[in-house]
Amino acid sequence: MREVSIVGVGIHKFGRFGEKPFTEIGVEAALMALKDANMAWGKIQAAFCSRVNLPSTTGLRVLTQLGRTGIPIVDVEAACAAGGAALRQAHMLVASGFCDYAMAIGVEKMPRGFIDPEMLYDKWQVHVGLSQIPMYWAMRAQRHMYEYGTTVEQMGMVAVKNHKNSVHNPYAMYQRAFTLEEVLNSAIVCDPIRLLMICAPDEGAAAAIVCPSQEAHKWSSKPIKIAACVHKIALYPHTSAPAYTGSAKVVSPFITEYAANAAYEEAGLGPEDLDVVELQDTEAHNEIEATEYLGLCSEGGGGPLVESGATEIGGRIPVNPSGGLISKGEPIGASHLGQVFEIVTQLRGQAGERQVDGAKVGLCHVLGAGGNCAITILKR
Distance between CA atoms of residues 257 and 235, nearest Å? 11
For residue 121, tell me if it sits in a domain. Answer: no
Q: Do residue 165 and residue 175 come from a single domain?
A: yes
Structurally, the chain folds into a number of domains equal to 2
Indicate whether 352 belongs to any domain: yes
Domain that holds residue 75: 4-113+203-225
Q: Are 107 and 58 a contacting pair, CB within 8 Å?
A: yes
pLDDT bracket for residue 86 (50, 70, 90): very high
Instruction: Specify whether 105 is located in the same domain as 165.
Output: no
Number of Cβ within a 10 Å radius of residue 53: 19
Same domain, 92 and 73: yes
In a shared domain, residues 219 and 255: no
Backbone angles phi, psi at 331, to 5 degrees: -80, 95
70 and 188 together in one domain: no
Residues noted as catalytic: 80
Residues 69 and 152 in one domain: no
Identify whether residues 89 and 138 lie together within a single domain.
no
Q: At what angle do helices 133-148 and 284-293 cross, to 10 degrees?
A: 60
Tens of pLDDT, residue by residue over 29-69, are 999 999 999 999 999 999 999 999 999 999 999 999 999 99
Angle between helices 335-347 and 82-95 (to 10 degrees): 60
Q: Is 122 within a domain?
A: no
Regarding whether 207 and 180 lie in a shared domain, the answer is no
Positive or negative torsion for Cα 308, 347, 225, 105: positive
Task: Identify whether residues 94 and 9 lie together within a single domain.
Answer: yes
Q: Are residues 136 and 276 in the same domain?
A: yes
123 lies in a domain?
A: no
- Residue 165: give its domain's CATH number: 3.40.47.10
Is residue 98 situated within a structural domain? Answer: yes
Residues 268 and 212 in one domain: no
- The structure's pTM equals 0.94
Task: Find the range with the poorest average confidence among 76-85, 204-213, 235-244.
Answer: 235-244
Q: State the average pLDDT for the chain.
A: 93
